[in-house]
């Protein structure tokens, strides 16, 4: 970067520089405080605070968890309110609007980009502060509702991982009804009410959709989906075109795999081909576990009893990416009342980055998933963000969502890298060969299913959800829309007489709306970058010092460039689907 000298700045450039150096710095300080408040809410204050006491009764523990949810939920709302009030400040509006009016006078590219990134933070929120506060509060409530839900089966409550594991273990004729009941128990999340009161999760999400659409219209967009794409620097037409291309390229392969999953379900449960397509018999809700039957592979057993934390630290060290501090500050383990999902929290980029997860504390259950996810969160998200230059302006001190998602999904592939298996995981040669043969084929099949199960299905469903007229935003209509999309993309059938908000199993609809297109584009970016890394390090591939150096070069710039410009700089080509097609051509 070669910024203009003060003596050469015109009046608009001086105003922009001063605004970025004063108001924007203050905004980012408030944003950091808000991020810490969210961390406290999701962890309920930390490892010890929400831990079960030995002498504590069930009722006392539940009461204390409710008190913690209320305490940290209120603290998060206060932090959000402080951030919101600063944005809604009339003085700030009077400073930012004249700059925007004359923004074409800003000659220096990086000064112009900084202003373009922060302008919406101050301009759009002036439209209706009360509306923004409603949206913020409803998302906090939804976070608490998801954290509060436990699936109930045969009079007992189960965590998200526990219920998924039970679904995967069903088999035989006796397992048919068990699978149906377990899947229904997990999907009951949409009908959950916080402490048994108020709106259900599904009803609350639809209220949030209405508020988000109202907000989007006030800032000049037709709906919230289009608004979010614009904010994420995604061209809606280009996204639609890429979705059509990928769907056309991968659908024939998916249809073949779908047939094999049907056969596996028929064999597992002793059911007909038509029954095999029902959502109860996919071996899981979060991911179709029946795929493990097809591929005769599961990574879980190989990592059983292994603590991922030292492996993560060694992985970073051998790649030249230090993640020790991230690992030490993270909260990896399952606890009652804790938010049941996995996240990466860049609380103060790049100096305080933490991962949040729900791993089995005994390292016995779902450990393949745990290793894959911690590689995704810690080495991918965390390692990449940690490489951002701390001397950058605060507006650039992060990575674009699509960029960091591409890193995260790429690092999951370390699980199938020969050198990582040998040097970091310490596997023996027989185990390594299993991962390089059966494992790699399983990974490709898993990614193929994810494209349809997640990236295509959810992106298209959400697009149509936010395009519904407000009068049509009813549970009946949204449930029907989900049923149609599930059949269209997955070939999975939801019974005709079922009218339930099954779509709510994805927390993203509630607290991270219009996000899955970032996974979709991130996968395309990942494939293209991974192909480039294999050119740079043809022997060791992803698990190499060359990878660390390559990422350091292009992650230190933070958000100085748009994601689409960055992929050109990294690979020499704009984003396309050729690298992805080349990968899937290896799937037998």
Q: What is the pLDDT of residues 36-49, one digit of tens each?
A: 999 999 999 987 78
How far from chain centre, in Å, is Cα 31?
A: 20
Does residue 4 carry a pLDDT above 60? no
Q: What pLDDT is stored for residue 338 in this prediction?
A: 84
> What's the pTM value of the predicted model, to 2 decimals?
0.91
**Bridge partner residues of 198 (DSSP):** none
Per-residue pLDDT of 326-341, as tens digits, reads: 999 999 998 888 888 8
Instruction: Indicate the residue among 105, 126, 147 that finishes a domain.
Output: 126
User: What CATH number does the domain containing 438 carry?
Assistant: 1.10.1370.30
Q: What is the mean pLDDT of residues 514-533?
A: 97
Domain annotation covers residue 246 = yes
Instruction: Indicate the residue among 110, 126, 142 that finishes a domain.
Output: 126
Region of residue 337 (phi > 0: left; psi between -120 and 50: alpha; otherwise: beta): left
Q: Enumerate the H helices of 415-562 as residue ranges.
A: 418-423, 429-434, 440-450, 457-467, 475-490, 508-511, 516-536, 545-555
Domain annotation covers residue 187 = no
Domain annotation covers residue 161 = no
**Bridge partner residues of 344 (DSSP):** 355
* Burial environment of residue 139 by CB neighbours within 10 A (0 to 12, 13 to 18, 19 or more): buried
User: Among all chains, which residue has been given the structure tokens 């934390």?
Assistant: 309
Closest by CA position to 412, among listed 566, 576, 527, 326 = 527
- What is the bridge-based pairing of β-strands 343-348 and 331-333? unpaired
Q: What pLDDT is stored for residue 237 in this prediction?
A: 96
Q: What is the mean pLDDT of residues 502-513?
A: 96
pLDDT > 90: what percent of the chain?
Answer: 84
Per-residue pLDDT of 467-500, as tens digits, reads: 999 999 999 999 999 999 999 999 999 999 999 9
Ranking 7-21, 204-218, 361-375, 535-549 by mean pLDDT, the lowest is 7-21
- Residue 18 CB coordination number (10 Å): 13
Instruction: Give the HSE-up count for residue 130: Cα atoms under 13 Å, Cβ half-sphere.
Output: 0
Q: What pLDDT is stored for residue 1 in this prediction?
A: 47
Domain annotation covers residue 215 = no
Q: In which band, very low, low, confident or very high, does the pLDDT at 6 lie, cut at 50, 70 and 90?
A: low
Domain annotation covers residue 179 = no
Per-residue pLDDT of 292-324, as tens digits, reads: 999 999 999 999 999 999 999 999 999 999 999
Instruction: Give the HSE-up count for residue 20: Cα atoms under 13 Å, Cβ half-sphere.
Output: 23
Domain annotation covers residue 454 = yes
Domain annotation covers residue 54 = yes
The residue segments making up the domain with residue 393 are 237-584
User: Among all chains, which residue has been given the structure tokens 């009030």?
Assistant: 85
Q: How is the beta sheet containing 343-348 ordered, strand by strand?
A: 331-333, 352-359, 343-348
Closest by CA position to 217, among listed 207, 208, 227, 209 = 227
Q: What pLDDT is stored for residue 95 in this prediction?
A: 87
Q: What is the mean pLDDT of the chain?
A: 94
Q: What are phi and psi of 347, to 5 degrees?
A: -65, -40
**Bridge partner residues of 278 (DSSP):** 493
Instruction: Indicate the residue among 126, 157, 180 that finishes a domain.
Output: 126
Report whether 292 contacts 453 (CB < 8 A): no
Ranking 119-123, 149-153, 462-466, 540-544 by mean pLDDT, the lowest is 119-123
Report whether 359 contacts 333 (CB < 8 A): yes
How far is the CA of 294 from the CAs of 19, 106, 133, 416, 586, in angstroms?
Answer: 58, 58, 48, 19, 17
Q: Are residues 120 and 241 in the same domain?
A: no
- Residue 9 is encoded by which pair of tokens? 């700045």
Domain annotation covers residue 168 = no
- Residue 502 is encoded by which pair of tokens? 């099954």
Q: What pLDDT is stored for residue 340 in this prediction?
A: 81
Q: Are residues 118 and 247 in the same domain?
A: no
Q: In which band, very low, low, confident or very high, does the pLDDT at 2 lie, cut at 50, 70 and 90?
A: very low
Per-residue pLDDT of 375-398, as tens digits, reads: 999 999 999 999 999 999 999 999
Does residue 434 carry a pLDDT above 70? yes
- What is the bridge-based pairing of β-strands 331-333 and 352-359? parallel
The total number of structural domains that make up the chain: 2
pLDDT > 70: what percent of the chain?
Answer: 98
**Bridge partner residues of 359 (DSSP):** 333
Per-residue pLDDT of 115-173, as tens digits, reads: 999 888 887 766 788 898 899 999 999 999 998 899 999 999 998 889 999 999 999 99
Q: What are phi and psi of 156, to 5 degrees?
A: -120, 155
Q: Is residue 352 helix, strand or coil?
A: strand
Q: What are phi and psi of 46, to 5 degrees?
A: 120, 175
Give CA–CA dist 198/159, Å, rounded. 23
What lies within 8 Å, CB to CB, of 251 at 6+ separation is none
């Amino acid at each position: 970067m070669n910024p203009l000298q003060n003596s050469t700045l015109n009046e608009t450039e001086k105003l922009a520089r001063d605004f970025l150096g004063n108001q924007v710095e203050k905004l980012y300080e408030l944003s950091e405080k808000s991020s810490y408040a969210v961390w406290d809410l999701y962890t309920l204050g930390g490892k010890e605070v929400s831990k079960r006491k030995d002498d504590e009764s069930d009722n006392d523990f539940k009461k204390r968890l409710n008190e913690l949810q209320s305490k940290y939920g209120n603290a998060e709302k206060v932090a959000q309110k402080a951030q919101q009030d600063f944005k809604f400040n009339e003085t700030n509006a009077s400073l930012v609007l004249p700059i925007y009016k004359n923004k074409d006078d800003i000659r220096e590219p990086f000064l112009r980009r900084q202003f373009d990134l922060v302008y919406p933070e101050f301009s759009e929120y002036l439209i209706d502060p009360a509306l923004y506060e409603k949206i913020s509060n409803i998302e906090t409530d939804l976070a608490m509702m998801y954290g509060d839900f436990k699936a109930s089966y045969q009079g007992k409550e189960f965590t998200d991982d526990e219920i998924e594991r039970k679904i995967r273990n069903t088999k035989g004729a006796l397992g048919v009804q068990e699978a149906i009941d377990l899947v229904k128990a997990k999907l009951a999340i949409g009908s959950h009410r916080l402490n048994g009161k108020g709106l259900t999760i599904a009803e609350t999400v639809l209220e949030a959709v209405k508020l988000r659409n109202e907000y989007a219209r006030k800032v000049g967009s037709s709906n919230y989906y289009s608004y979010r794409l614009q904010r994420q620097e995604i061209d809606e037409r280009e996204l639609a075109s890429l979705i059509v291309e990928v769907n056309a390229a991968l659908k024939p392969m998916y249809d073949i795999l779908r047939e094999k999953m049907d056969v596996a379900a028929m064999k597992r449960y002793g059911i007909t081909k038509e029954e095999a397509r029902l959502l109860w018999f996919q071996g899981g809700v979060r991911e179709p576990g029946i795929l493990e039957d097809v591929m005769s592979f599961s990574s879980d057993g190989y990592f059983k009893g292994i603590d991922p934390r030292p492996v993560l630290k060694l992985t970073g060290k051998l790649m030249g990416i230090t993640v020790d501090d991230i690992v030490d500050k993270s909260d990896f383990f399952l606890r009652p009342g804790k938010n049941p999902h996995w996240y990466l929290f860049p609380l103060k980029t790049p100096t305080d980055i933490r991962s949040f997860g729900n791993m089995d504390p005994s390292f016995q259950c779902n450990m393949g998933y745990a290793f894959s996810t911690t590689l995704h969160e810690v080495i991918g998200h965390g390692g990449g963000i940690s490489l951002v230059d701390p001397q950058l302006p605060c507006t650039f001190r992060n990575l674009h969502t699509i960029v960091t998602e591409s890193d995260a999904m790429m690092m999951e592939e370390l699980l199938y890298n020969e050198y990582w298996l040998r040097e970091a995981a310490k596997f023996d040669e027989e185990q390594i060969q299993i991962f390089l043969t059966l494992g790699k084929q399983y990974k490709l099949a898993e990614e193929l299913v994810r494209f349809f199960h997640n990236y295509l299905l959810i992106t298209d469903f959400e697009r149509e959800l936010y395009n519904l007229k407000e009068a049509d935003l009813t549970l009946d209509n949204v449930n029907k829309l989900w049923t149609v999309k599930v059949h269209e993309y997955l070939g999975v059938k939801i019974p005709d007489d079922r009218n339930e908000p099954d779509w709510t199993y994805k927390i993203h609809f509630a607290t991270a709306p219009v996000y899955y297109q970032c996974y979709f584009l991130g996968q395309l970016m990942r494939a293209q970058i991974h192909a480039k890394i294999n050119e740079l390090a043809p022997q060791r591939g992803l698990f190499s010092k060359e990878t660390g150096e390559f990422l350091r070069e292009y992650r230190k710039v933070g958000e100085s460039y748009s994601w689409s410009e960055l992929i050109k700089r990294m690979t020499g080509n704009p984003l396309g689907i050729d690298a992805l097609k080349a990968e899937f051509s290896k799937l037998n």
